[in-house]
Amino acid sequence: RSRQSARECRARKKLRYQYLEELVADREKAVFALRKELEKYHLWAKEIDAGKTPEEIQSVLEDLNLKQEQK
């Protein structure tokens, strides 16, 4: 009975670690995506400070205008 209990305990522990590893991997992906987005906004800010209008901002603004017009 003790051996079976130990086996079950190890199995639960293994599942718990797998779950935590997946959770960490998901969070790392989210952090990476947010860093990439932040870098994009930094580049946009630099272009705006230089007096330029980034093309991406133009398209975002146009999309927002279309959404507001549809309401």
Encode pLDDT of 27-70 as tens digits.
Answer: 999 999 999 999 999 999 999 999 998 888 888 888 888 888 88
* Contact of 45 with 52, CB cutoff 8 Å: no
pTM of the model: 0.66
Residue 10 in tokens? 């190890």
Predicted pLDDT at 57: 86
What does residue 53 show for φ and ψ, rounded to 5 degrees? Answer: -110, 115
pLDDT greater than 90 at residue 4 = yes
